[in-house]
Each structure stands twice: as C-alpha cells, then as structure tokens.
Structure 1
Amino acid sequence: MTGPLLWPDYATPTDLAAIEAVPLEARGLPESTYALLARAATRWPDRTAVTVLPDAARWREPLRRTFAELLADVHRYANLLHDLGVRRGGAVALMSPNCAELITATLAAQLAGLAAPLAGSLSRQHLAELLRRSGARVLVTAGPELAPDVWDTAQALARDGLLDAILVLRPTGATGAPEPLPVVDGVRISYLGELAAAMDPSAFTGELPRSADLAAMFHTGGTTGTPKLAAHTHANEVTDAWMLAAGNLFDQETVVLAALPLFHVNALVVTLLAPLFKGQTVVWAGPLGYREPALFGAFWKIVEHYRIAAMSAVPTVYAVLAQSPVDADISSLRFPMVGASPLPAAVRDNFRANTGITLVEGYGLTEATCASARTFPDVPRPGSVGQRLPYQRMRVVAVDGTWDELPVGEKGILAISGPTVFPGYVTDRDEHGHVLDGLGKLVDGWLDTGDLARVDEEGFVYLAGRAKDLVIRGGHNIDPATIEDALLTHPQVTAASAVGRPDVHAGEVPVAYVTLASGATVTEEELGAWARERVPDRAAVPRTVTVLDELPVTAVGKLYKLGLRADAAHRELRAALDEVAGVHDIEATIEGSSIVATVKISTSAEDAVKAILGRYAIEWRLVVVS
C-alpha cells in the first residue's frame, strides 16, 4: 500500500491528531520484517539497499547490495537455517561486530525463526544463560579474521555443550581463502557464506512469519545479575519502524548512516528496518562503528562522499563530533538523531555551533521496541525529548506504586501503551514455546518505563531522572547488581551498592560504595582491581570504589541509592570545579526523586561555571553570593 493511508502528512506536532483519526489497522503495514524487505525489493529492486564499509580506513571501498540482492541473500541464509532445523519460534543467536553478512543474517533469523542478538563483551556465564533461556542452539558469530576475541568466546560456548552449530562470519569484502576452522565434537562449524551459497535464493521454503509471531529477543539490563531478554513481535518492530519512517524528515533520497552495533535495538529499528519503508540507502560503518577512533578522523568526508542525510547515535558521539573541525561539505546532513541517554545541553549547543545543524532528540527503551518520542527540528521544545509517536499512548502515574494517573504537567513515572509495547521478558521455555512474563513492568497493557517525567498537553515528554537503578553509560544499560555481586565476593566486603556518577563523555559511569568488616585492611584501589577481574561486562567496571562506614538506608532499612547518587554527583562536580576561582560551595541534594546540584559562586565565576555544568546531563542551579 502507498499513498496517504501509508504516508500521512507528518511534519509538525499538530499533525498527530489527524494521523490517529485513521485506525492503525487501516494503514496497511507489512505483516512482518520479511514482508517489509520483500516489499522494498519489489518496488526498488535495483536501488542500493546497503553500502557496507570494511573499516574506517577503507571508507571508499564499500560492498554494495541492491534490495533485490539483499532479499536473495536473506532467502539463502534463511533456507540454510531451515535446513539446520530452525523453525518458527526457534531462536538463532547472533554475536558479532557489524559486517555485511551480519545484516543479512539478522533479517534471515527473523524469517526462519527469531533473532537473539548478543553482545560479545558479556561474560561466558551470562551468554550461557541467555542461550539457555532463548533456546538458541545455532550461533552466527564473528570468525577469527573479524573479531578474534568473540571467536574465542564462541568456541568456548561450543566446548561447553551449549551449541549444535556455529555459522562463521568473515569481514566485509573479505577475499582469499579463509582460516581453517576447528573441530568440536557434536558441533557443526562452517563459514556461513560458503554454506548459504548453495541455497535457493528465489524464496523461503519454510513457514512465513505473521505479525503476532516473535521476531527477536534483545538482552537489556534488569534487577538481577543476568540481563533480561525482552521479546519483540514482528508487529512491534514493523510498527515502530513505520512510526519513524512516516515523518516528513525522510524521503527516498535520504541516505542513512548506521554505526551502532546490531545487538542494540536502535541499530535494528532505526537504521535497518525503517529505511526499508521508503527504499533508502543505508551506509554501514566498519565493525567497530562509532567505537573506532579512525572513523571520526574521516567522518565529515564520509558524510560528503555518500551524501549522508540522517544518522543515529548516542550523546557521546555528538560530543566528539562537536569538537571535530568540519573539513568537508556536510550540507546533506539534515537529521542527526540522538537518544539512549540524556543529552547534555552543552553537547547539543556545541554540535550546532560546530555544524550549524540541530540535533533531533528521541526517547525510547527496549521494552517499547525502540522509539517512543522524537523532537521536531523546526519546532523547538526546550528541555523535551520529543512528542510521543503516533498510536503510542503515554501517561504519568504516581511513584507510590498505586498507578494513579497524575494531571497533565505533573511529574511521576512515565507509562506507555500501544502497539510497540513488548509482550514480556523471556523467562523460560516449555512445550508451548517461550514463556513470557512482564515481571511487574506491564500492568493492564501499560509499560512502567522506570523513568520520571512530565508530559504536556501536546504529548511532549520532559524527563526528570530515573526511578530505576540502571546505570546508562553512553546508551549501554548496566545492571548495578553485576558490580555489587562481584564486590560482595571479597571476604572483607560486608555491603556494596553501585550507582551512576555524572560524566561529561558517557552521560554517567558506574561507581561503587562498600562497607568493610571490622579490622579489614583492603584498600579502595585493591577493591577496584578486584572488581576489574570479576565484573562480567567491561563497560560495567566501576570507575571508583569508595569505602564508607555505613551505606545510607531508608526508614524501613532498604538501601537508599539516591543518597549515593547525590554523593557521587557531589564528588564529580567538586573535582570538575576545583580550580575555578570564585566557587564557594557545592551541594548535591535530593529533590523528590531527582538530584539537583547547587553551586554558590561569585559573579566573576558565572560564565566559567555555566560552561562546565552545561557539559553534564544533570539539573543544577547557581547562587551568586557576595
């Protein structure tokens, strides 16, 4: 379907009511992510679908695939998975840096069964539990040429008896004979491209997915040591992708840059699925994406060469780009999108000053598929992360657990309902398939986001901190329990609590607080080394470990993490402002459920202090004293 039913006028916030006057069911959205790809291949068979860069140094030497070629490749890969026994409802694990074969394999996994992307940086213990919970016995993974460390982990998982087959990926554009693969008893190990070459490219031989079928399971931080597995249906993913594509920001000529890892929902929904709706070309950066320093040295030239118009990244990326001299014609870049963690005002302002371009802010979470709100560059709403997307409902409820809805404009916990809200977390499997449970996050179809916010009359969301304990480091969700559990294994540690400390580069970073047994001799530095050896996710290793006489608790004896967050913010700001003349006092206090910094200064220090505080995603106020 095309025309106004599929593509309503969606240019300003006032268009929302007219869009929702038409039922979503009348829009004629594709049945599945596969149907979305097939639609693109039928309409634009010869148009370039993906342009994949081998790495930042070879950005002029991409591998290109048209929509028709991409569909044929997906058929081959999906038919191979089907031959290996993958059926509807069966999971395929994918663990690899981005490359051309991973893009195809992700779509193929959702066609043959469902995709279970994994971050290779997770510990083997966590990966093993995620494989068990998902039921995946087939792993698509980076080979020795692409990511040796990931390849070592994959082999270890196979030797532990967790896999039946490993399909190995090569780097984008790899030539020559690949490295020989090892033999592991009972496990089929082969290069994916070689096996898939003999498969039928014309059609998929198995059962096609339907809208209510599960499409993927994404791991995300939770309240236990092992990451949760959030399930997505095909309807969830297609609908959220359409909500983004429906905006007048994008047309068929919009070239999109993708550089986030495909185990992240943003990479899948924003830069893989949404561009399929209008036949847009996506330029995929090398395997490390934004984590490759060399990419930033060539970034503006890449924008000019490929005429990049849109991109999606976390605030830390834009903080770097705000400091990167523009050495090319970047007039094509119109819609740089930012999300995943709070955007410091200084990053937004500095990026605009350096490039002349306004960032498009967004808000979302894995449990609501990906995106739930976005801003309009020409209609500024200072302090807002955007207006809710069409057909997503939002309300603010009391923080006391009653779910009483609060009046418009009042602050509470943000709740979301609608077609993008996930069906639950995968907690187990039984004879009927995957067992899903909302684990307290779903109440009568409403998702408790764990975020504090207020929503105005037009549906614009203003975040005010988080009710949940997750530490979000540059868009990476960190479960504090993984840090706390590691520190509690030390024989001299009696209690541990991890929180986020404000950080100018990553939004926040994890820090830990502990109490020690009587007579303990261990130092803070030694505890930091202990954590580095035992925290399973490298990104979760605490920056500091601070020893306290006692940890703050509530009146009923529960750990009071807000108090620790206030202490962490105070320590960070005290260090940041230490050498600024005219700073008299710094306080970090708790107001409601938020941390607010108050800095007492002389008039002469105002500009310098504002410049420093503006780099942090925190609330602050200045008090001028004589």
Structure 2
Amino acid sequence: MPRYSYLEAGDRDRIQSEKTWEERQNPATIYQLLKKTADAQGGAPAVSFQILSGPKDKAETLSWRALHDKSVQAANLFRSLGVGEQDVVAYILPNANETLVALLGGMVAGIVNPINPLLDADQIGAILRETGAKVVVTLKGFPKTDVAQKAHEAVALAPDVAHVLEVDLNRYLTFPKNLIVPLIRPKVHATHKAKVQDFNAAVASQPTTLQFADSEGDRVAAYFHTGGTTGMPKVAQHTYSGIVYNGWLGANLLFDPDDTLICPLPLFHVFAVHVVFMAVLTAGAHVVFPTPAGYRGDGVFDNFWKLVERWKVSFIITVPTAIAALMQRPVDADVSSLKIAFSGSAPLPVELFNRFEKATGVTLVEGYGLTEATCLVSCNPIGEGNKKIGSVGVPFPYTDVKILQADGDGVILKECGVDEVGEICVANPGVYLGHTYTEEAKNQGLFAGNRFLRTGDLGRIDEDGYLWITGRAKDLIIRGGHNIDPAEIEEALAGHPAVAFAGAIGQPDSFSGELPCAYVELVDGATVTEEELMAYAKEKIHERAAIPKHIAIVRELPKTAVGKVFKPELRKEAIARVYNAALEQAGMNARVAEVVESKKLGLVARLEATGEVDYDAVNHVLGEFTRPFEWMD
C-alpha cells in the first residue's frame, strides 16, 4: 500500500504537520533520484514497451539498473555534444523505451524539452527556436508515420540545433516485419546542417558512470510546451524540486513499489512524465507503455483488458475520452489484479464515472493538475476514502489552493468564500514563482498576490475542502454581459444516453456578442437527432440564457493528445459558420475561407471573394460582430 493513507481532507493536514517539505530532504536532482532507485531496486522491472498492442506481442522490459545505465550513457552523450546545464535537448518521439532514456539523460545533462510529434513542422520549429535546442532526438524514417520528415523539416527552421539523433523503431519488430521495414522505409532528405547519428549506437558508445559532476542543487530541468496547436506555444519551465515533488506525491499517496501501471498516455505531456513516470521512478514501481501512440495505437482499446491481464496491472492511468472508448467494449479478460484507475486531464462526467466502476469493479479516482504547476494539484481520496464524484478532490500536501478574483496585474481583489466560483490559484513546490514561462512577458499578471499561480480555471471549494472545476475563465460565454459557464451545458448534454462527449462555446452574435452553442460526439452505434438533443437541453438546462442556440453532432470532437476537448477548433468552426450565414443572407459575394489565430487579435476570419464584392457592404455586415476579419491576399 502507499506509504500514507489519503482517505479524507484531514489526512492532508496530518501529513503536512509531520514535516515541512524542506525537512523531508528528498533527492535534490534527477540523477540522485535515479541512482537511489536503481541501487534499491536493481533488477526489478522499471519500464516495459511493446510496439504492437496484442497480449502476446513482443515486449522489451528494462530493469531499474538497465534504465539507470542507459540514461547515464545518454547524459554523457549529450554532454559530449555540448549540452550544459542551461542547454536544451529536445525529443520529438512517440512512446518507446528510448523516449524515457532521452528524458532522463536530457534532465541530467541539461534541460529536456519533450515536443508533441503530432504538431506540424512549423509549430515544432517554433518550439525549437523558443527553447534554443542544441540536440534533437527523433525517429528514423518509419512506415505509416511522418514524424521523421517533420522533425528534419523543423530542424531546418531552428539554427541552434547542431545534432540530430535518430531512433529506429524497427528493432522492436519481429520476423517478417523487421525485414520488410528497410524495404519500404520512407526516405528522409535533410535540408539542415545538423549532424545526424543513430541514437542507440551513440548511447552505447558511452560509459555507464557519470562523466561530469551532477548539478549541485535545484535548477530548471525541463521545458514543456502548452498550447502549440495554434502555432504559438507557451513554454513552461520545470525545476528539479517541482519534478521531485510530483514524484513524491505519486509514490507516497497513490501506489507502491509492487504496483504495475499501464500508461497509454504520451511522453511529451506532463501527465505521463511527471504524474506517472516520476512517481514510478520515486517508488521503484513498474510501468507499461503499449504502442508508440498509446491509446491512439492500433488495437489498444480492443486489447486493453487483455494487456491488463498480461502484465497483471494494478493501476490504470487514463483520461475521460479513453474511459468512454473502453466502456464501449466488453471487459474480456481477467482484471482481478486491478486496484485503482486514475483519471485526469479533463472533468469526468458523472454518468461515465458510474459506468466505469460498474463495468470493472475498480475504484476510479479523479485528479487535477496543469503544465504550469509542473502538474499535480489535487485528487480524490484513494481506496475507501470519501470521493465526491465530479470534484477533483482535496489539494495535495504542501499545495495551497485559493479561489480568488484578481485584476490583470495579479492584484487580489477578493478571496472567494465556500462554494463561491472564482479563479483557481495554486501555490506549491511545482510552481516556479515568477518564472513559469520562458518568455518573461507571458509571466506578467500570472501570479496573484505575488504567490499564487493563476490557473485560468474557474472553480470553487466546498465546505469539506473539495475542489470543483466549473470551467475555464477564458471559456466563459458572455451573452450580453451575462456570464454563462459552458460546464453547465456540457454536463446537461453528457447526461443523454446517446452522447459520449460535449463541448460548449460562445458563437458570435451581432446583438448579444455571444450566444451559447454546443457540439456533441455520440456513443458508437447511438442515434439521436440534433432536434432531439435541443429538446433535451431545454429540459435539462435550467438557466434559460444557457440553452444553446445551435447544437451540432460531429463524428469526433477535436481533442488534445490527452483527451481534452480542443475548443479553439470549435470556435473556428462557429465563427466561419455564423459569418458565412450572415454574408449569404445579405447576398454578399464573399465567404470565410479560414479562421486563423493572430498573436495580437486572437481568432481572425479570413475572407475570400466569390464574385464581384461590395467591400463596404461586407464591412457593414461583419462589423456587427465583435470578432475581427480580414481579406486574404
């Protein structure tokens, strides 16, 4: 069992009262933490990876000693390539054992920068320039993926990159696939001047003892981009102390060294890296990564329960979208080893929570965190503790959460009372106070009272100290000055048996500024009409102003890699739809060709002519709306 019971709100205060965070004297660096675990756990399994999802497919397991040695070799390699403590090693990789080696080696030698390989080359290039990366670890050309092509194209846009190290996933395949890949491998033509080497060969050439002095104390060890899907990412800075804090929480409150976790989440995101892997590293537990794409991998959902049986998994790491997909499949294996499932990244609809626990008999625990705070903030109590379904639980030990109202400069205007909604603000060892983002301008106004990180999430704290997320501050729908929380609309629609997920936003309106609209994704095989959903919304949404003006059924809602509904894409669709309807109704020979994000103006509708255009008339029609527009060249 975990070292500390975490069954109720009072446990947080009890744990804090034992020792201050500083008195706990945790390892000061990632190398110290890695060495401590390798010395203690030695030959015990640390990480397992299988490139295919079948329960009998080939897998590679690294012991803690092997992971230590490979990570030290990688650190030595990076240092030999000119990476110092303030220099950056970026990796653009799917999940694999090499990804973890690059992660740990990068943190020990310098600053590691995981990058989402699903981004396009321009976006990746922008992140590489922002972080000034010197070394990039990425894939060697491989069938059915364009990661290698995008990475080399991005490196050409980032002049500081001097070395590219390639990982060949072919080594994980068996006969005959491993013979076919070299014959059909896509050719990647580099246009940059960086030196290209094989990652595994270069790592193997290094000694397994650290060839340079470890850092003497706390420092920035990781850069994680947040956003980025618009092409303008913000880069958050994570320190050793914040990373170690996240690992300590997981290892002491969530699971123990005997646990085996399955984590089909991407290793470019803080959930998989800090919440899962750093906790596994601290506890000396075992984590399984199925397929390079995790939950997105071929057959992962179909084989998921069989993988649980294969690895005797006791702890599932998941997100609401994955839970919804799993609930559309039978539990077709022996899952008696399971103890807990931990869900994060987005609020979990109550109906989905109930369905999962009924189908699996497994306790489902919701947690909350964010990239800017290194990650963890709160979770519902583990085991038999008092879980409040729909809340994200009790703030962790050494985490102070306040619900505040603050102005643009971070001056606190009011501390909200019990159950009063305001902005969730956090102070804990994971918050790099004053320096959350690499761009100093983006830190302005980010801290309330010069202590609390402003999360941008709306929430409340109830009389028992449980935290409830009610929406995003920037997601508020403002209808004629009336604030509407999109969560009210989403929760109502999610209660319909045919609805898997819902996303509510404000669509432009010439009179009210914004009107609520909603997009829904249906459960596989379910049928319902938009008219029926509208009638359902009118019945279930008690605030008249919050009833959607428009409901659209989509095949799949746009989502981030960890399952959050990606609302900027919904806003783009709504702007184009509303503006085009207004232009058509006015008889204008113009249409919205695309909606793009401007750094200064936000979302901008770009127009193209479809015939002879009265530009003044178009300006008059669209001038009735608040969102800007411009003509394409």
Q: TM-score, normalised by structure 2?
A: 0.74
Give yes or no for contact 1:222–1:470 (8 Å, CA) kept in 2: no
Give yes or no for contact 1:577–1:583 (8 Å, CA) kept in 2: no
- The code of the aligned residue for 2:268 comes to F
Cα deviations across residues 217-270 of structure 1 (Å, max 9, x unaligned)?
1111289850100110010111012112211x4122110111111111000012
Give yes or no for contact 1:341–1:507 (8 Å, CA) kept in 2: no
Percent of pairs with identical residues: 30
1:382 to 2:356 alignment: no
1:301 to 2:306 alignment: yes
Matching residue of 2:234: 228
More displaced 10-residue stretch of structure 1: 15-24 or 152-161: 152-161
Distance 1:596 1:393 in 2: 36
Give yes or no for contact 2:265–2:294 (8 Å, CA) kept in 1: yes
1:142 to 2:139 alignment: yes
Matching residue of 2:531: 578
- The code of the aligned residue for 1:233 comes to T
Q: CA deviation at 1:418?
A: 1.6
2:283 to 278, 282, 288: 278
Matching residue of 1:418: 428
Matching residue of 1:567: 517
Matching residue of 1:477: none
Give yes or no for contact 1:374–1:387 (8 Å, CA) kept in 2: yes
Matching residue of 1:447: 453
1:215-614 correspondence to structure 2 within 5 Å: 215-221=221-227, 226-247=232-253, 249-376=254-381, 377-378=383-384, 379-398=386-405, 403=412, 404-423=414-433, 424-428=435-439, 438-443=443-448, 444-469=450-475, 502=490, 507-508=501-502, 513=507, 550=510, 552-553=512-513, 563-564=514-515, 566-568=516-518, 578-579=531-532, 585=538
Q: CA deviation at 1:182?
A: 5.2
Q: CA deviation at 1:42?
A: 0.5
Give yes or no for contact 2:156–2:191 (8 Å, CA) kept in 1: yes
1:167 to 165, 168, 189: 165
Q: CA separation of 1:147/1:42 partners in 2, compared to 1, >3 Å: closer, same or farther?
A: farther
Partner SS for 1:130:
helix
Partner SS for 1:98:
coil
Cα deviations across residues 92-147 of structure 1 (Å, max 9, x unaligned)?
11111111111111111101101111112223222222111101021111221276
- The code of the aligned residue for 2:292 comes to P
Partner SS for 1:92:
strand
Cα deviations across residues 293-346 of structure 1 (Å, max 9, x unaligned)?
401111111111111011211101011112211111111111111111111111
Q: CA separation of 1:412/1:455 partners in 2, compared to 1, >3 Å: closer, same or farther?
A: same
Q: CA deviation at 1:359?
A: 1.0
1:187 to 167, 181, 194: 194
Distance 1:153 1:205 in 2: 33
Matching residue of 1:155: 152
Distance 1:68 1:567 in 2: 54
1:25 to 22, 26, 43: 22
Distance 1:349 1:459 in 2: 23
Give yes or no for contact 1:182–1:189 (8 Å, CA) kept in 2: no
Matching residue of 1:541: none
Matching residue of 2:77: 80
Cα deviations across residues 442-461 of structure 1 (Å, max 9, x unaligned)?
23120111111111344310
Q: CA separation of 1:221/1:152 partners in 2, compared to 1, >3 Å: closer, same or farther?
A: same
Give yes or no for contact 1:587–1:597 (8 Å, CA) kept in 2: no
Give yes or no for contact 1:425–1:439 (8 Å, CA) kept in 2: no
- The code of the aligned residue for 1:205 comes to Q
Distance 1:146 1:82 in 2: 32
Partner SS for 2:78:
helix
Distance 1:352 1:571 in 2: 22
Q: CA separation of 1:371/1:322 partners in 2, compared to 1, >3 Å: closer, same or farther?
A: same
- The code of the aligned residue for 1:567 comes to C
Partner SS for 2:470:
strand
- The code of the aligned residue for 2:452 comes to W
Matching residue of 2:628: none
Q: CA separation of 1:458/1:90 partners in 2, compared to 1, >3 Å: closer, same or farther?
A: farther
Distance 1:229 1:311 in 2: 29
Give yes or no for contact 1:567–1:588 (8 Å, CA) kept in 2: no
Give yes or no for contact 2:348–2:390 (8 Å, CA) kept in 1: no
Q: CA separation of 1:585/1:341 partners in 2, compared to 1, >3 Å: closer, same or farther?
A: closer
Distance 2:197 2:476 in 1: 38
Cα deviations across residues 272-312 of structure 1 (Å, max 9, x unaligned)?
11012221111111101001240111111111111101121
Give yes or no for contact 1:586–1:597 (8 Å, CA) kept in 2: no
Distance 2:438 2:441 in 1: 6
- The code of the aligned residue for 2:102 comes to A
More displaced 10-residue stretch of structure 1: 578-587 or 7-16: 578-587
More displaced 10-residue stretch of structure 1: 40-49 or 370-379: 370-379
Q: CA separation of 1:418/1:146 partners in 2, compared to 1, >3 Å: closer, same or farther?
A: farther
Q: CA separation of 1:26/1:571 partners in 2, compared to 1, >3 Å: closer, same or farther?
A: closer
Matching residue of 1:518: none
Give yes or no for contact 2:138–2:151 (8 Å, CA) kept in 1: yes
Q: CA separation of 1:322/1:584 partners in 2, compared to 1, >3 Å: closer, same or farther?
A: closer
Q: CA deviation at 1:405?
A: 1.0
Distance 1:38 1:239 in 2: 17
Distance 1:264 1:255 in 2: 20
Matching residue of 1:531: none
Matching residue of 2:129: 132
Give yes or no for contact 1:181–1:190 (8 Å, CA) kept in 2: no
- The code of the aligned residue for 2:172 comes to G
Give yes or no for contact 1:245–1:278 (8 Å, CA) kept in 2: yes
Q: CA separation of 1:7/1:333 partners in 2, compared to 1, >3 Å: closer, same or farther?
A: closer
Distance 2:436 2:142 in 1: 34
- The code of the aligned residue for 1:467 comes to A
1:66 to 2:63 alignment: yes
Give yes or no for contact 1:146–1:170 (8 Å, CA) kept in 2: no
Cα deviations across residues 143-192 of structure 1 (Å, max 9, x unaligned)?
21276311111121233453311111121625679778756563101110
1:55 to 2:52 alignment: yes
Distance 2:215 2:256 in 1: 28
Distance 1:299 1:51 in 2: 15
Partner SS for 1:354:
helix
- The code of the aligned residue for 2:431 comes to V
Matching residue of 2:219: 213
- The code of the aligned residue for 2:356 comes to F
Q: How many residues of Structure 1 are paired with residues of Structure 2 in the alignment?
A: 515
Distance 2:532 2:547 in 1: 21
Distance 1:506 1:344 in 2: 9
Distance 1:222 1:406 in 2: 32
Q: CA separation of 1:156/1:459 partners in 2, compared to 1, >3 Å: closer, same or farther?
A: same
- RMSD value, Cα: 3.5
Partner SS for 2:424:
strand
Distance 2:537 2:38 in 1: 64
